[in-house]
Protein backbone atom coordinates (compact mmCIF):
# COMPACT_ATOMS: atom_id res chain seq x y z
CA UNK A 1 0.00 0.00 0.00
CA UNK A 2 1.29 3.44 -0.94
CA UNK A 3 2.37 5.69 1.91
CA UNK A 4 -0.48 7.83 3.22
CA UNK A 5 0.34 11.23 4.69
CA UNK A 6 -1.33 13.80 6.92
CA UNK A 7 0.02 17.30 6.31
CA UNK A 8 -0.66 20.50 8.27
CA UNK A 9 -1.30 23.35 5.84
CA UNK A 10 -0.50 26.69 7.45
CA UNK A 11 -1.63 30.03 6.03
CA UNK A 12 0.73 32.98 6.35
CA UNK A 13 -0.01 36.64 5.66
CA UNK A 14 3.57 37.89 5.61
CA UNK A 15 3.54 38.60 9.34
CA UNK A 16 1.99 35.66 11.16
CA UNK A 17 -0.19 32.60 10.80
CA UNK A 18 -3.86 33.12 9.99
CA UNK A 19 -6.86 30.90 9.32
CA UNK A 20 -9.61 31.61 6.83
CA UNK A 21 -13.04 30.17 6.06
CA UNK A 22 -13.73 29.72 2.34
CA UNK A 23 -10.67 31.92 1.67
CA UNK A 24 -12.23 34.84 3.60
CA UNK A 25 -11.99 36.62 6.97
CA UNK A 26 -8.49 35.64 8.13
CA UNK A 27 -8.12 35.22 11.90
CA UNK A 28 -4.75 35.55 13.58
CA UNK A 29 -3.35 32.24 14.86
CA UNK A 30 0.15 32.99 16.05
CA UNK A 31 3.84 32.85 15.23
CA UNK A 32 4.97 30.33 12.57
CA UNK A 33 8.13 29.36 14.44
CA UNK A 34 6.20 28.35 17.55
CA UNK A 35 3.83 26.24 15.46
CA UNK A 36 6.70 24.57 13.60
CA UNK A 37 8.42 23.66 16.86
CA UNK A 38 5.25 21.98 18.13
CA UNK A 39 4.80 20.08 14.86
CA UNK A 40 8.40 18.89 15.19
CA UNK A 41 7.54 17.40 18.57
CA UNK A 42 4.46 15.74 17.12
CA UNK A 43 6.55 14.21 14.30
CA UNK A 44 4.27 15.28 11.46
CA UNK A 45 4.83 13.82 7.99
CA UNK A 46 5.33 17.09 6.10
CA UNK A 47 4.46 20.76 6.44
CA UNK A 48 2.99 23.15 3.88
CA UNK A 49 3.06 26.93 4.37
CA UNK A 50 1.21 29.20 1.95
CA UNK A 51 1.64 32.97 1.90
CA UNK A 52 -1.92 33.94 1.00
CA UNK A 53 -1.16 37.62 0.35
CA UNK A 54 2.15 37.58 -1.50
CA UNK A 55 0.64 37.36 -4.98
CA UNK A 56 -2.24 39.76 -4.31
CA UNK A 57 0.09 42.34 -2.80
CA UNK A 58 2.74 41.72 -5.46
CA UNK A 59 5.14 41.29 -2.58
CA UNK A 60 8.61 39.84 -2.91
CA UNK A 61 9.25 36.58 -1.10
CA UNK A 62 11.00 37.18 2.20
CA UNK A 63 13.69 34.57 1.62
CA UNK A 64 15.46 35.05 4.99
CA UNK A 65 12.16 34.55 6.81
CA UNK A 66 11.24 31.44 4.81
CA UNK A 67 14.77 30.12 5.39
CA UNK A 68 14.17 30.60 9.12
CA UNK A 69 10.98 28.54 8.91
CA UNK A 70 12.66 25.82 6.88
CA UNK A 71 15.60 25.74 9.26
CA UNK A 72 13.27 24.99 12.16
CA UNK A 73 11.51 22.13 10.33
CA UNK A 74 12.55 18.57 11.10
CA UNK A 75 10.16 17.40 8.37
CA UNK A 76 9.92 18.06 4.61
CA UNK A 77 8.81 21.66 4.13
CA UNK A 78 6.79 23.01 1.19
CA UNK A 79 6.23 26.70 0.50
CA UNK A 80 3.87 28.54 -1.83
CA UNK A 81 3.05 32.17 -2.48
CA UNK A 82 4.45 34.87 -4.72
CA UNK A 83 6.93 32.69 -6.61
CA UNK A 84 7.48 34.26 -10.02
CA UNK A 85 10.95 33.34 -11.32
CA UNK A 86 13.26 30.37 -11.63
CA UNK A 87 15.79 32.24 -9.50
CA UNK A 88 13.22 32.35 -6.68
CA UNK A 89 12.78 28.57 -6.97
CA UNK A 90 16.55 28.32 -6.61
CA UNK A 91 16.67 30.61 -3.57
CA UNK A 92 13.90 28.67 -1.86
CA UNK A 93 15.52 25.29 -2.53
CA UNK A 94 18.92 26.62 -1.45
CA UNK A 95 17.41 27.76 1.84
CA UNK A 96 15.78 24.49 2.86
CA UNK A 97 12.43 24.38 1.05
CA UNK A 98 11.95 20.92 -0.48
CA UNK A 99 8.84 21.61 -2.57
CA UNK A 100 7.42 24.78 -4.10
CA UNK A 101 3.65 25.05 -4.43
CA UNK A 102 2.51 27.02 -7.49
CA UNK A 103 -0.91 28.41 -8.33
CA UNK A 104 -1.14 31.78 -10.08
CA UNK A 105 2.14 31.05 -11.87
CA UNK A 106 0.39 28.21 -13.73
CA UNK A 107 -1.73 30.78 -15.55
CA UNK A 108 0.69 33.71 -15.67
CA UNK A 109 4.11 32.19 -16.52
CA UNK A 110 3.86 28.43 -17.15
CA UNK A 111 7.24 28.45 -18.89
CA UNK A 112 8.84 29.29 -15.52
CA UNK A 113 7.35 26.12 -14.05
CA UNK A 114 8.59 24.00 -16.95
CA UNK A 115 12.09 25.40 -16.53
CA UNK A 116 12.02 24.82 -12.76
CA UNK A 117 10.90 21.21 -13.31
CA UNK A 118 13.69 20.73 -15.83
CA UNK A 119 16.31 22.10 -13.43
CA UNK A 120 15.14 20.71 -10.11
CA UNK A 121 12.93 17.75 -10.93
CA UNK A 122 9.19 17.21 -10.97
CA UNK A 123 9.17 16.05 -7.34
CA UNK A 124 10.09 19.59 -6.27
CA UNK A 125 7.04 21.32 -7.81
CA UNK A 126 3.46 20.96 -6.57
CA UNK A 127 0.53 22.38 -8.55
CA UNK A 128 -2.23 23.85 -6.39
CA UNK A 129 -5.65 23.46 -7.99
CA UNK A 130 -8.29 25.54 -6.22
CA UNK A 131 -11.83 24.47 -7.09
CA UNK A 132 -15.27 25.82 -6.25
CA UNK A 133 -18.87 25.37 -7.36
CA UNK A 134 -19.97 27.91 -9.93
CA UNK A 135 -23.46 29.42 -10.27
CA UNK A 136 -24.66 26.27 -12.00
CA UNK A 137 -23.39 23.96 -9.28
CA UNK A 138 -20.50 22.64 -11.37
CA UNK A 139 -17.06 22.55 -9.85
CA UNK A 140 -14.74 25.00 -11.58
CA UNK A 141 -11.06 25.82 -11.31
CA UNK A 142 -10.25 29.02 -9.44
CA UNK A 143 -7.04 30.91 -9.01
CA UNK A 144 -6.01 31.55 -5.43
CA UNK A 145 -7.07 35.17 -5.88
CA UNK A 146 -10.63 33.96 -6.39
CA UNK A 147 -11.09 34.44 -10.13
CA UNK A 148 -12.76 31.74 -12.20
CA UNK A 149 -10.56 29.97 -14.74
CA UNK A 150 -12.12 28.83 -18.00
CA UNK A 151 -10.49 25.42 -18.17
CA UNK A 152 -11.92 21.92 -18.48
CA UNK A 153 -10.81 19.99 -15.39
CA UNK A 154 -9.65 16.76 -17.13
CA UNK A 155 -7.72 18.76 -19.71
CA UNK A 156 -6.24 20.95 -16.99
CA UNK A 157 -5.00 17.97 -14.97
CA UNK A 158 -3.49 16.47 -18.12
CA UNK A 159 -1.83 19.82 -18.90
CA UNK A 160 -0.27 20.02 -15.43
CA UNK A 161 1.05 16.49 -15.60
CA UNK A 162 2.14 16.17 -19.22
CA UNK A 163 2.92 19.72 -20.34
CA UNK A 164 4.23 21.40 -17.21
CA UNK A 165 5.59 18.22 -15.66
CA UNK A 166 4.68 18.92 -12.03
CA UNK A 167 5.21 16.08 -9.58
CA UNK A 168 2.19 16.42 -7.29
CA UNK A 169 -1.30 17.92 -7.18
CA UNK A 170 -2.72 19.89 -4.27
CA UNK A 171 -6.52 19.94 -4.57
CA UNK A 172 -7.93 22.81 -2.50
CA UNK A 173 -11.71 22.93 -2.04
CA UNK A 174 -12.63 26.60 -1.59
CA UNK A 175 -16.23 25.83 -0.56
CA UNK A 176 -15.11 23.51 2.26
CA UNK A 177 -12.01 25.37 3.46
CA UNK A 178 -12.24 26.08 7.18
CA UNK A 179 -15.74 24.57 7.55
CA UNK A 180 -14.88 21.27 9.34
CA UNK A 181 -17.59 19.65 7.16
CA UNK A 182 -15.47 17.01 5.46
CA UNK A 183 -13.64 16.57 2.17
CA UNK A 184 -15.28 16.27 -1.23
CA UNK A 185 -14.40 12.58 -1.53
CA UNK A 186 -16.30 12.05 -4.76
CA UNK A 187 -14.63 14.89 -6.63
CA UNK A 188 -11.17 13.97 -5.37
CA UNK A 189 -11.82 10.41 -6.60
CA UNK A 190 -12.66 11.81 -10.04
CA UNK A 191 -9.30 13.58 -10.12
CA UNK A 192 -7.24 10.66 -8.84
CA UNK A 193 -8.79 8.54 -11.59
CA UNK A 194 -7.47 11.04 -14.15
CA UNK A 195 -3.84 11.10 -13.10
CA UNK A 196 -0.91 9.03 -11.95
CA UNK A 197 0.41 11.94 -9.88
CA UNK A 198 0.24 11.87 -6.08
CA UNK A 199 -2.74 13.92 -4.87
CA UNK A 200 -3.03 15.97 -1.68
CA UNK A 201 -6.63 16.75 -0.73
CA UNK A 202 -7.30 19.92 1.25
CA UNK A 203 -10.43 21.64 2.50
CA UNK A 204 -12.98 20.46 5.04
CA UNK A 205 -11.10 18.20 7.45
CA UNK A 206 -12.94 18.15 10.75
CA UNK A 207 -12.43 14.78 12.40
CA UNK A 208 -10.56 11.48 12.16
CA UNK A 209 -13.26 9.84 10.07
CA UNK A 210 -12.95 12.57 7.44
CA UNK A 211 -9.24 11.80 7.20
CA UNK A 212 -9.82 8.05 6.92
CA UNK A 213 -12.48 8.54 4.24
CA UNK A 214 -10.38 10.80 2.03
CA UNK A 215 -7.28 8.63 2.33
CA UNK A 216 -8.92 5.25 1.81
CA UNK A 217 -11.93 5.88 -0.44
CA UNK A 218 -10.82 8.64 -2.83
CA UNK A 219 -7.38 7.53 -3.92
CA UNK A 220 -5.75 10.60 -2.36
CA UNK A 221 -2.19 10.05 -1.21
CA UNK A 222 -2.33 12.73 1.46
CA UNK A 223 -4.81 14.73 3.53
CA UNK A 224 -3.96 18.34 4.33
CA UNK A 225 -5.44 19.78 7.50
CA UNK A 226 -5.91 23.45 8.29
CA UNK A 227 -8.38 24.14 11.09
CA UNK A 228 -7.71 20.75 12.68
CA UNK A 229 -4.04 21.73 12.88
CA UNK A 230 -4.50 25.08 14.62
CA UNK A 231 -7.70 24.88 16.69
CA UNK A 232 -8.62 22.61 19.61
CA UNK A 233 -12.13 22.04 18.20
CA UNK A 234 -14.58 23.82 15.92
CA UNK A 235 -15.50 27.14 17.47
CA UNK A 236 -12.85 26.80 20.16
CA UNK A 237 -9.53 28.48 20.78
CA UNK A 238 -6.15 28.20 19.07
CA UNK A 239 -4.24 25.03 19.84
CA UNK A 240 -1.58 23.59 17.55
CA UNK A 241 -2.81 20.07 16.89
CA UNK A 242 -1.97 16.93 14.98
CA UNK A 243 -3.88 13.63 15.06
CA UNK A 244 -2.08 10.47 16.06
CA UNK A 245 -1.14 8.61 12.90
CA UNK A 246 -2.14 5.30 14.46
CA UNK A 247 -5.73 6.55 14.73
CA UNK A 248 -5.92 7.25 11.00
CA UNK A 249 -3.21 5.53 8.99
CA UNK A 250 -3.19 1.83 8.21
CA UNK A 251 0.51 0.99 8.13
Residue 153 makes CB contacts below 8 A (sequence gap 6+) with: 131, 139, 141, 190, 191, 194
The single residue of 13, 130, 181, 193 carrying the catalytic annotation is 130
**Contact status, residue 32 vs residue 81, Cβ threshold 8 Å:** no
Q: Is 130 a catalytic residue?
A: yes
From residue 166, how far is each of 76, 161, 198, 233 by CA, in Å?
Answer: 17, 6, 10, 35
Give the residue among 233, 232, 182, 222 at the shortest CA–CA distance from 203: 182
Specify burial of residue 77 (Cβ count, 10 A radius: 0-12, 13-18, 19+): buried
Q: DSSP secondary-structure letter at 123?
A: G
List active site positions: 130
Amino acid sequence: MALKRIIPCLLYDGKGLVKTVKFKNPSYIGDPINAIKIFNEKEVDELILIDIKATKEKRKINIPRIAEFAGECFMPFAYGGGVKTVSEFYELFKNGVEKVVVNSLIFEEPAVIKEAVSKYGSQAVVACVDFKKNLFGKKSIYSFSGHSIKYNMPDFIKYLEEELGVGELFLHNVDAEGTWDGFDNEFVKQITDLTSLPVIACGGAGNLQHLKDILYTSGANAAAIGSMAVYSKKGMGVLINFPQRSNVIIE
